């Protein structure tokens, strides 16, 4: 099968099947330990910003309310 044929077949899958396929494909591209390391680096960066008072934590409900208001 060609890439185009595989893509066309994948796009015919339902939403849940496409999500499962995407996750499985992603795991073959990026090793889980690399992902974990990337998140650790990001968490440390955010913690440093917070310690320097360059960033403040937000609660999910507050963040979602702001986004809803912005994109209404």
d(CA 27, CA 21): 10
Question: 55 near 46, Cβ under 8 Å?
Answer: yes
Indicate the number of domains in the chain: 1
Q: Using CA atoms, how far apart are residues 41 and 29, in angstroms rounded to an integer? A: 20
Residue holding tokens 């968490």?
43
Instruction: Say if residue 54's pLDDT is above 80.
Output: no
Domain span including residue 9: 3-70
Percent of the chain with pLDDT over 90: 31
pLDDT attached to residue 52: 82
pLDDT of residue 31: 75
């Amino acid at each position: 099968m060609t890439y185009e044929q595989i893509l066309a077949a994948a796009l015919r899958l339902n939403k849940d099947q496409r999500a499962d396929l995407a996750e499985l494909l992603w795991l073959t591209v990026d090793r889980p330990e690399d992902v974990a390391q990337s998140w650790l680096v990001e968490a440390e960066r955010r913690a440093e910003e917070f310690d320097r008072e360059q960033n403040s934590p937000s609660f999910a409900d507050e963040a979602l309310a702001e986004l809803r208001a912005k994109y209404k």
